[in-house]
Amino acid sequence: MRTSPDDSQETLQTLRPDGTLGESEEDMEARLAMESLMRHRRARRRKKLIAGGIVGAIVLVGAVVWGVSKFTGNAVGDDAPQLMTTFVDRGDFTEAVEASGAAKPVTSVVVNPEVGGTIETVNVAEGDTVQEGDVLLTVKNDELDKAIRDAEMGVRNAKLGVSQAQSAYATTLEAYNKVEEIKDEAGNVVEYKRGAEGRDVDSAAFAVESANNSLSDAQEAYSIAVANAEKRTVRAPKSGSVVVMNAQVGASTDSAANAGGLIQIADLSQMTVKVQVNEVDISKVSVGQMAKVTFSALPGVELDAQVTRIATVAGSGEDSSGHGGGVVTYDVSLLIPQPAAELKPGMTANVQIMLQSVPDTLMVPLSCVAMDEAGGSYVMVVTDYETGAAERRSVSVRASNQTTAAIEGDVDEGDKVLLDPYSVPDPDMGTNDGSDPVSTDGEAPVAENAAGSASDDGAEPTAAADTAA
C-alpha cells in the first residue's frame, strides 16, 4: 500500500544534531519531483496561451479581409484590385459653352416731350402695351398758344403787305404804260413822256416779291407754332410695351427727362443677350449656333436662342489694377425669338451655347471608354458582380466632352461597366488567378504547430512527474 506524502513525511522525519527535525531523503525527492511538475505545467499553460493568441489574431485578420471584400463587392479574384463601376445611362447628350449676361429688348426708344411745360395728363402706365400713334400724355404750355396767335397776326400782316405791294405795282405799271405827247407851238409832237419811269416799275415789282416772301415767312412761322403746340400731345413713336414710366401729372417735363426719360417703350416680342466668352472657347462658337437660356429670377423657364454676332476684337484683358494679364473675352450676341411673357429687360440670363447635341443616346463617363490595338473603342461590362468577371463590348463614340461620352454598340441601358477598363487584364489574354493573402489553409498549420509545441513541451514534465511519483 502506497502512503500519502503527509504520512511519508511524518515517517521519514529525523532529528538533526541541532535538535530540529529534518526531512528524510524520500521526502526531499518527492518535493523536488513535485516542484518540477508544477514548473512544467506553468510553462505548458503559457505556451497554450501564446498559441491561442496567434490563432485568434490570424482568424481576426482573415475576418476583416473577408468583411471588406464582401462590403466592396468589387474584387476580381482574391487578390485583385478593387474595381469601381457605374451604369450605362440614357439621355440627351450635350456639350456647351456657358456664359451669362443681361436680357435686353432688341429695340427700345426713350420718349421725352419735344417742348417744355407741365405734364397735364398721363394716359398709360408701366407694363401697358401701346400702338404707334397712341397718346401717351399731354403737356400744358400757354406760351405755345401765344406763339400761334402771334404767328396768325404775322400772316395777316404779311397778306396785307402783299396786297399793298401788288396795288402799288399795278398803279406804277399803269402810269408807265400811259404815254403823253409833248408838242411844240406848231402842234408837232416833239416827244413822248410816260407817267412812270421804268425803274419805278422795277421797284414796285421788287416790293411785291418782298411782300410775298414776308407772307411765306409768316405762314411758316405759323406752321411751326402750330406744330410746336401739337407736340404738347406726346404720342407713341412705335408699338411696344411701356417698360419705364417717370411721367407724373403736374411735374415739369424737364425734371422728368433728367431722371432718365419720361417713358421708355420696348419691343418685347424679341429679346437679346450679350455674353462674354473666354478666348479658350471662342473658336468653338459660330453664328447660327443654337443655345439654351435660363434665368436666375425665373426658375423652370428655359428658352431657345441663336448666336447672331461674334465680336472680332477682344474685350479688355486688363485686371483690376489696370495691368495686362486679365481674362480675354469676346462679346457674343444671341437672339431670343420667343421670350416668355414674364421675362423682363435686365434679368440675368445664363446661356449654354450648344456645341454638340445627341438626343436620346446611351452615355457613360469618358473614363469607361478604352481603345484597343486597332484603334477601336470598347467598354468592360461586368457579367458577374459576385466574382467581378467582366467582358469587353465594342462601342462607337458618337460624341464626347471632357467628362461624358455618347456611345452606341453592344451595350444596353443599365449595364454595369468598369470606370477604369484598364484595371483588369484583357479577357482574351486570360484572367488573374491570385490567391488570398490571408489563407484559411495557412491558419490551421500555425495553430496546429503552436498547440503541438505546447504538448511536446508538456510531455517531459508529465513523464518526469509520473516517474517521480
What is the distance between the terminal CA atoms of the chain, rounded to a whole angstrom?
14
What's the rounded mean pLDDT across residues 283-292? 94
Q: Are 279 and 329 in contact (CB under 8 A)?
A: yes
Q: What is the pLDDT, as a whole number, of residue 235?
A: 94
Q: What is the pLDDT, as a whole number, of residue 41?
A: 64
CA-CA distance, 236 to 109, in Å (whole number)?
10
Could you tell me how far CA 419 lies from the centroid of its own chain?
27
Which residues make beta-bridge pairs with 293? Answer: 303, 351
**Which residues contact residue 62 at a Cβ distance below 8 angstroms, ignoring those fewer than 6 apart?**
438, 440, 443
What's the rounded mean pLDDT across residues 189-207? 83
Residue boundaries of the structural domains of the chain: 25-75+439-469, 85-91+359-429, 113-137+236-261, 142-231, 267-357
Q: Are 136 and 235 in contact (CB under 8 A)?
A: yes
Position of cell 479658350?
280
The pLDDT mean for the chain works out to 78
CA-CA distance, 191 to 324, in Å (whole number)?
100
Among the residue ranges 78-92, 258-272, 298-312, the one predicted with the least confidence is: 78-92
The CA distances from residue 378 to 93, 293, 408, 426, in Å, are 19, 35, 10, 11
A 10 A CB-CB count for 111 gives 21
Q: What is the pLDDT, as a whole number, of residue 290?
A: 94
Percent of the chain exceeding pLDDT 90 equals 51
Geometric angle at alpha carbon 173, from 170 and 174, rounded to 5°:
85
Q: What is the pLDDT, as a whole number, of residue 334?
A: 97
* Residue 295 predicted with pLDDT over 80: yes
| Protein fold of 267-357 | Elongation Factor Tu (Ef-tu); domain 3 (2.40.30)
CA-CA distance, 210 to 162, in Å (whole number)?
8
- What CATH number matches the domain at 85-91+359-429, 3.40.50.261, 3.10.50.40, 3.20.170.30, 2.40.420.20? 2.40.420.20
What band does 327 get if pLDDT is binned at 50, 70 and 90?
confident
Closest residue by Cα to residue 148 from 234, 233, 232, 228: 228
**Which residues contact residue 177 at a Cβ distance below 8 angstroms, ignoring those fewer than 6 apart?**
194, 195
CA-CA distance, 201 to 209, in Å (whole number)?
12
CA-CA distance, 95 to 123, in Å (whole number)?
50
What band does 439 get if pLDDT is binned at 50, 70 and 90?
very low
What's the rounded mean pLDDT across residues 92-121? 91
CA-CA distance, 241 to 136, in Å (whole number)?
12
Q: What is the pLDDT, as a whole number, of residue 26?
A: 57
The CA distances from residue 35 to 272, 321, 467, 468, 469, in Å, are 105, 94, 13, 11, 12
Tens digits of per-residue pLDDT, 139-185? 999 999 999 999 999 999 999 999 999 999 999 988 888 877 777 77
Global pTM value: 0.52
Position of cell 414776308?
214
Closest residue by Cα to residue 435 from 65, 72, 60: 65
Inter-helix orientation angle 25-72/5-12, to 10°: 150
Phi, psi of 308 (to 5 degrees): -115, -20
Half-sphere exposure of 103 (CA within 13 A, CB side): 28
